[in-house]
Amino acid sequence: MTPVAESVRRYASDRLFLSAAIAILISVILVEGGGRALLALPVLAVALAVYAAIVLRRRSGWLSALESGLDEGVSEFIRERVPFYGPLDPEQRRRFEDLCAIFLYDHRITGVDGITPGPGIRGMVASSAARLILGRPEWSYPDFGEVLIYPGEFSDDGSFSTDPAPRESRVAGMAHSTGSAVILSLPHLVRGFSRPGEGNVALHEFAHVLDGLPWADGIPDNLPAPRVKPWTEMMRKEFEKVRDGRSVLRDYAGKNPAELFAVAVEVFFESPLLLKARQPDLYEGLKDFFGQDPAAGASYGFLPEEPGVDSGTPDAQSGQDSDGQLPASTESSDLH
Ligand SMILES: [Zn+2]
């Protein structure tokens, strides 16, 4: 059994055990309360059964996705176009592909305004998400619904319009605060691969998801409790560096702690040598959290002979990407 399959089985058994334990505890309290409190027992039983059904259904779907594997188009794209994949050893490759398969099972990828998500788009989205959790196969993304692929920047005024708008109100990506969707501009998604080190909107938005929507605060949900205090202190110091202009992170990281985390994740994976040399404490903190040491590994991006990504809309690949003015992760004033 692969490590990811083991994690899936453990995910289900841990949750079922925990929910059963909580149900038993509540049942004891209700029985001791007697009288009308006993009427809540059937409700508790139904709630436990529904939760167990949801967990088992997700477990079954994940195992099925692992057994089926990636479709050939996505698999070929990742194999041939994502250099990060190349240097991985066979076990890491299998784990990476498994994580991509689970992500694609869990999340619908929908094109907007004529974009048809083919193997290239699906491969870019899934490999970006899987890259963040490769070192922690026990992690999984919350079921945030779908990933919307927009043909370019879009308005953050709630209309999500792709019509021309003032530059300050256009964004390249968004992790919706309700946790219902992640939105990515296709040219910026592509640029994250074709120009490593210049920002990566997909890594940025998925970092927000791991942070924990809708309450992203720069202290990710998966951070072990004993590490929260030192992590918070580390982030406070890094935040001051950004505000004082002493950080390699771009100014946008100084907007709030959630953006600090998301921008730091981009730099950690895309410019690890720079981050390690200039801000070793931040690098070590992220290395420990993600269980990865990208400074010791390969670069991340398309192979040199890029571009040629399927989109169904050729203009979407060039379009606004050619202006070179808007950073890949310029976003709205909330935690998107
Ligand atoms: Zn952000």
Q: Do 202 and 170 have their domain in common?
A: yes
Q: Which domain holds residue 177?
A: 72-323
Q: Are 187 and 152 in contact (CB under 8 A)?
A: yes
Question: Which pLDDT value is given to residue 165?
Answer: 63
Asked if the structure places residue 330 within a domain, the reply is no
pLDDT per residue as tens digits for the range 24-74 = 899 888 888 888 778 888 888 899 999 999 989 888 998 999 999 999 999
The CATH number for 253's domain is 3.40.390.10
Number of domains in the chain: 2
Question: Which pLDDT value is given to residue 330?
Answer: 38
Q: Do 237 and 287 have their domain in common?
A: yes
Asked if the structure places residue 334 within a domain, the reply is no
In angstroms, rounded to a whole number, what is the distance separating the alpha carbons of residues 128 and 134? 10
Asked if the structure places residue 178 within a domain, the reply is yes
pLDDT per residue as tens digits for the range 135-180 = 987 788 877 779 999 999 888 777 777 776 666 678 889 888 777 7
> Ligand 1 centre and the CA of 115: distance in Å?
24
Is the CA virtual torsion 181, 188, 104, 11 positive or negative? negative
Q: Do 32 and 113 have their domain in common?
A: no
Residue 87: CB atoms within 10 A of its CB come to 11
> Ligand 1 centre and the CA of 334: distance in Å?
8
Residue 130: CB atoms within 10 A of its CB come to 26
Asked if the structure places residue 114 within a domain, the reply is yes
> Ligand 1 centre and the CA of 263: distance in Å?
7
User: What number is the average pLDDT over the span 275-293?
Assistant: 95
> Ligand 1 centre and the CA of 316: distance in Å?
22
Q: Do 143 and 121 have their domain in common?
A: yes
Asked if the structure places residue 328 within a domain, the reply is no
Q: Do 89 and 181 have their domain in common?
A: yes
Nearest 10 degrees: Cα torsion 245, 247, 250, 253: -90
In angstroms, rounded to a whole number, what is the distance separating the alpha carbons of residues 8 and 2? 10
Q: Do 236 and 179 have their domain in common?
A: yes
In angstroms, rounded to a whole number, what is the distance separating the alpha carbons of residues 166 and 307? 29
Q: Do 162 and 268 have their domain in common?
A: yes
Q: Do 128 and 15 have their domain in common?
A: no
Q: Do 58 and 147 have their domain in common?
A: no
Q: How far is CA 188 from the centre of its chain?
A: 16
Asked if the structure places residue 329 within a domain, the reply is no
